[in-house]
Structure 1
């Protein structure tokens, strides 16, 4: 009797299950009937729009972020799962779908990273928005965007970095990125700074122009030294020296001196430097043309040839103002603080003044001079407190100095102020400030002046 009841119960249970499955199939019938990619893609698109509409009406930033991320996932799934549908084509090509702007939505989702306004990812996003947009197709050298690629790489987004570099590399290979000579303008350096050393050297060795070839070799030698590869640094320094001798590249010898120094070959670098200075000055006395390459002044400071460094700096600083902090910072690092400070006191430009003071802070710390670092930091803070100097270039140098002096995250607040100031600046300043912001940010994050 008990077994019969169990069988009857099992049969009844099975029948109920069958009826339930049939009911589910019946109610889902229209969906099965319409289970073609276009219908499924449209349904998923509508679900994404519903989440976006919900995000538009919430006051909770976390809820807005969650809804927009879910919408992004739904839209990405349409492209991935239903690529043959018209809506997938519209999404992948950034077309309007009704009044939905795909490109604007992507930027809105990207901007969610600024829910943490002092995060490095937010800084990079906002700096990218400051850069003049890329022309499509890429035909013009743009070292600001290549610097951005390096920044993304070192911030943990190597795929995004590759996506920025790839069009420049492609245009260079097709011979469309030129600047009046055989120049790659930072493509090789960007590749080397993102780990593509072999490709960077392949590009460099295909260029015969003295300036670009030796600049690239010297840069890649320096990167090799940063990467702890003195053998490669030495080989590239020797290659730069040999190419300069073979091609008569006298103007670039300051770069060769620096490359030799990066490789640890100081005696050889000093001999080449002194010979080059004698030749450059004698030519200047005879022709009264350009005195010397700016890089020679930097090499003089590296070698602590103080009088020569300051004399060369006076000759080149008007045309190459970047040499002022480079030379004075190196001299301060070598202990020549009195002469470097006296030279600094003659400067009128607050941006340049701030950069030199930031270099002095770093130099003092490297020498173990805590009092000197504090003194220069106080001068930099005083400069930045002047309302007339609340400029992005001044504030970003203060952020650099804060990072070196304190070693914590208080620099982020100052860097945020620098980005805010840049966004409020004139179009002229906005055009030029992106690269210095990137250089400072990468230098702070990595501890090396990768983009100087």
Structure 2
């Protein structure tokens, strides 16, 4: 009897213990259940998006595939925005795998939809971005090529993509991590100005006291203002650059100041500053008392219409600064010295540089209404491309640039596509080096302006 009573008590104790455990388990399970209810809409949306992607994978219709993938992308964005506390949103926003689904690869696929129109400029831009070396994370160097890409996206209509590329560079400059010992921001302010952010560009520029950063940035911001027709800002910044150069003894940048004054319509002070600078810098070099001139001085000489001096300066600076060759020759040709500029190209050995110079001369000839001269130069450029057994992508891009201004139709697109195809098949070394020149050529074609050269 006692044993039976003890056994009953043992059973009751065990049942009580079991009830307590179940109660505790229930208390523990409840929040998880509530959490599942909170995140189930995100899960349902994710399943819906995956079903749409499978539909996209199964269709042969390009337009239908594009529509479906964009619908799925919209749903993923909805998950991130409406359910940011869910684990799923965290996985998506950090580009993690969800099961075997690679969200980063999916986003790349959505971006590549622009190439459903293979000859569109946005497709060209997307392909060029694949050639550029990736940006390190976090950003520690202000990269000219990626900043140019941001400017290109802005002017081709994808402002969201432009801001996405640009924002980390702006943040890095504000933190000071992209500064060199000289304090340079390396094109960030200039890119901002070309994207219409003049005030922000000036705020960043005025934080740097060194002559190079301050004057170069002021000059480029003034140039962007002039392209927009904002003469008041151009005039104000030209005067600011002149005063800053004078008060801080900035001698190497005076050629750039002269160009900026001329752009603002101040030809007399521009010419005076230029002549004084040439007398000081070029004469010292000829007397072997120092380095010669900044490359901008040769460009300023061409802008001011002194062909002999411009070519003398060009011969002096072009080896270290090859970009000056098309810049100087194009300016000389626009001011009526087309034959002299064309003759100069005959002595050039670098096919890419020669092609760029010829493209500039074609544009200049058309500016002077010299159609026959432009056609003759185009013939030279075509022969140069035909003789190029290496199929240089940059040379082909320069031909496309010339075709755009000469024919004013879309035949340039096939040439530019060929340049991209050649780059695709080239070595990694060539792909890396071709990306930025191809980008510069495309921006020039689409805007008619050199932008972030």
CA distance in 1, matches of 2:137, 2:424: 24
Would you say the 8 A contact 1:49–1:71 is kept in 2?
Answer: yes
SS at match of 2:389: helix
CA distance in 2, matches of 1:353, 1:108: 38
Would you say the 8 A contact 1:37–1:84 is kept in 2?
Answer: no
Would you say the 8 A contact 1:126–1:419 is kept in 2?
Answer: yes
Aligned length: 420
> Deviations 1:225-256 (Å, cap 9, x if unpaired)?
11112222122111111111111111111001
Q: Give the corresponding residue for 1:20.
A: none
Q: Give the corresponding residue for 1:239.
A: 240
Would you say the 8 A contact 1:443–1:450 is kept in 2?
Answer: yes
CA distance in 1, matches of 2:68, 2:55: 7
Runs (5+) with no aligned partner, structure 1: 1-32
2:158 counterpart of 1:142 = no
Would you say the 8 A contact 2:190–2:452 is kept in 1?
Answer: no
User: Greater shift after overlay, 355-364 or 283-292?
Assistant: 283-292
Runs (5+) with no aligned partner, structure 2: 1-33
Q: Give the corresponding residue for 2:29.
A: none
Q: 1:229 to 1:65 in 2, by over 3 A?
A: closer
> Deviations 1:102-161 (Å, cap 9, x if unpaired)?
100100111111010111111111111111111111111211111111111111122221
Return the TM-score normalized by structure 2: 0.89
CA distance in 1, matches of 2:268, 2:75: 63
Q: Give the corresponding residue for 2:322.
A: 321
CA displacement at 1:449 relative to structure 2: 1.7
CA distance in 1, matches of 2:227, 2:277: 26
CA displacement at 1:428 relative to structure 2: 2.1
Q: Give the corresponding residue for 1:52.
A: 53
Would you say the 8 A contact 1:383–1:389 is kept in 2?
Answer: no
CA displacement at 1:39 relative to structure 2: 2.2
CA distance in 2, matches of 1:301, 1:152: 31
CA distance in 1, matches of 2:87, 2:380: 62
Query: For 1:134-283, what aligned pairs fall within 5 Å after superposition?
Result: 134-283=135-284
Would you say the 8 A contact 1:141–1:179 is kept in 2?
Answer: no
Q: Give the corresponding residue for 1:357.
A: 358
CA distance in 1, matches of 2:376, 2:224: 32
CA distance in 1, matches of 2:96, 2:289: 60
CA distance in 1, matches of 2:391, 2:433: 17
User: Greater shift after overlay, 87-96 or 364-373?
Assistant: 87-96
Q: 1:360 to 1:389 in 2, by over 3 A?
A: farther
CA distance in 1, matches of 2:323, 2:168: 29
CA displacement at 1:339 relative to structure 2: 1.8
CA displacement at 1:219 relative to structure 2: 0.9
CA distance in 2, matches of 1:352, 1:336: 19
Q: Give the corresponding residue for 1:450.
A: 451
Q: Give the corresponding residue for 1:373.
A: 374
Q: Give the corresponding residue for 1:74.
A: 75
CA distance in 1, matches of 2:190, 2:359: 25
Would you say the 8 A contact 1:443–1:451 is kept in 2?
Answer: no
User: Greater shift after overlay, 244-253 or 442-451?
Assistant: 442-451
CA displacement at 1:59 relative to structure 2: 3.2
Q: Give the corresponding residue for 1:23.
A: none
CA displacement at 1:326 relative to structure 2: 0.6
CA distance in 2, matches of 1:299, 1:256: 9
Q: How large is the Cα RMSD of the aligned pairs?
A: 1.7
SS at match of 1:388: coil
CA distance in 2, matches of 1:435, 1:396: 11
User: Greater shift after overlay, 147-156 or 439-448?
Assistant: 439-448
Would you say the 8 A contact 1:114–1:122 is kept in 2?
Answer: yes
CA displacement at 1:372 relative to structure 2: 0.4
CA displacement at 1:35 relative to structure 2: 8.5
Q: Give the corresponding residue for 2:66.
A: 65
User: Greater shift after overlay, 407-416 or 71-80?
Assistant: 71-80
CA displacement at 1:319 relative to structure 2: 0.3
Q: Give the corresponding residue for 2:11.
A: none
Q: Give the corresponding residue for 2:301.
A: 300
User: Greater shift after overlay, 130-139 or 40-49?
Assistant: 40-49
CA displacement at 1:224 relative to structure 2: 1.4
> Deviations 1:148-184 (Å, cap 9, x if unpaired)?
1111111112222122221111111111112331101
CA distance in 2, matches of 1:286, 1:93: 62
Q: Give the corresponding residue for 2:7.
A: none
User: Greater shift after overlay, 246-255 or 171-180?
Assistant: 171-180
